[in-house]
Amino acid sequence: MSITGWPTGSVEERVLFALDEVRPALVADGGDVCLVSIEGSTVRVELRGACKTCPMAHSTLS
């Protein structure tokens, strides 16, 4: 862990830490995020939730 509170380990550890930071806000709105893969500098995540018909769903992903 660095002095800023961010992990200094592998890319995967840092990505998982970042996802854990935003997860509470997503869960509070019925959603979640899961790491799918890390390939080079590309991180793929899966967004989950019960808001598929929500009028703001498109804006959330923009």
Is 1 part of a structural domain of the chain? no
Is 23 part of a structural domain of the chain? yes
Q: Per residue of the chain (62 residues), what is the pLDDT tens digit?
A: 555 677 778 999 999 999 999 999 888 888 899 999 999 999 999 988 866 666 666 666 65
Please report the pLDDT score of residue 28 as a whole number. Answer: 86
Is 4 part of a structural domain of the chain? no
Using alpha carbons, select from 53, 46, 15 the residue that is nearest to residue 32. Answer: 46
Please report the pLDDT score of residue 1 as a whole number. Answer: 55
Is 25 part of a structural domain of the chain? yes
Placement of tokens 């959330």 in the chain? 60
Please report the pLDDT score of residue 5 as a whole number. Answer: 72
**CATH number of the domain within which 29 lies:** 3.30.300.130
Please report the pLDDT score of residue 9 as a whole number. Answer: 86
Range of the domain at 36: 11-61
Is 2 part of a structural domain of the chain? no
Q: Which residue type sits at 56?
A: M
Q: How many domains does the chain contain in total? A: 1
